Amino acid sequence: MDPLSRTRRTIPVVCTAALALLAAGPAFAETVEVLWTANPSVGGTTIELQVGDTIEWDVQLGHDLSEMPSQALFDACDFTGSTLIAIGPAVTQTTFDSTGVRYFACSVGAGFHCDLFNMNVTVVVSPAPPVPVPVVLWPPGVAAALALAGLAALRSRRRRADGE
Ligand SMILES: [Cu+2]
């Protein structure tokens, strides 16, 4: 076969079912519901979340939800510099937009509920897993056809440059 005619042959690229898109669904944020009362189920524990997750606090009558600025103050049930988030009865949400460790407790009784009612909880927020990027898979036949077409185009360009 004449090499020149081979370079000019067009290679049909059939795109029927040529692309397979594998896209995993988006990572869904989680909402954890906490019943915030004396001796809560989360009392004295650590809740592990990922960025974007939310806690919905159901703060019961006679209690509050406060956030403490440091582990030392939290460990001492010392509410110096704390932020009052809600006074029960109230339902409030905290969405965790960044990684880190957060400390929550009930400030009623100046530390009494935090200590003796175990109304304290640590929240550790870790990075959310990356959302998978869609992957395009070329079936072997299409990939080979594209490679041949690219090679043919290179050859014909070279020949034109040579004045053929
Ligand atoms: Cu309390």
Helices (H) then strands (E): counts for the chain? 4, 10
Res 24: pLDDT: 41
Residue 144 is predicted with a pLDDT of 66
d(CA 141, CA 114): 67
CB 37 within 8 A of CB 63: yes
Q: Ligand 1 centre from 57 Cα, in Å? A: 13
**DSSP result, 70-88:** -HHHHHTT--TT-EEEEES
Q: How far is the CA of 34 from the centre of ligand 1 (A)?
A: 14
Q: How far is the CA of 53 from the centre of ligand 1 (A)?
A: 24
> How far is ligand 1, taken at its centre, from the CA of residue 11, in Å?
76
Q: What is the pLDDT of residue 19?
A: 37
Ligand 1 mean position to 159 CA, how many Å? Answer: 85
Q: From start to end of 38-134, where are the E strands?
A: 45-50, 54-59, 64-68, 83-87, 90-95, 100-105, 120-126
Question: How far, in Å, is the centroid of ligand 1 from the Cα of 76?
Answer: 16
Q: Specify whether the CB–CB gap between 42 and 119 falls below 8 A.
A: no
Q: How far is CA 32 from CA 66, 89, 125, in A?
A: 17, 18, 13
CATH class for domain 30-126?
mainly beta
Distance 22 CA to ligand 1 centre (A): 49
CB 96 within 8 A of CB 102: yes
Q: What is the pLDDT of residue 118?
A: 98
Provide the residue-wise pLDDT of the chain in tens; the chain has 164 residues.
444 444 444 444 333 333 333 344 346 899 999 999 999 999 999 999 999 999 999 999 999 999 999 999 999 999 999 999 999 999 999 999 999 999 999 999 999 999 999 999 999 999 998 877 777 666 777 666 766 776 666 666 566 656 55
- Residue 113 Cα to ligand 1 midpoint, Å, equals 5
CA of 65 to the centre of ligand 1 (A): 8
**How close is the Cα of 119 to the center of ligand 1, in Å?**
6
| 68 Cα: distance to centroid of ligand 1 (angstroms) | 15
Q: Provide CB contacts within 8 A for 139, sequence distance 6+.
A: 17, 18, 20
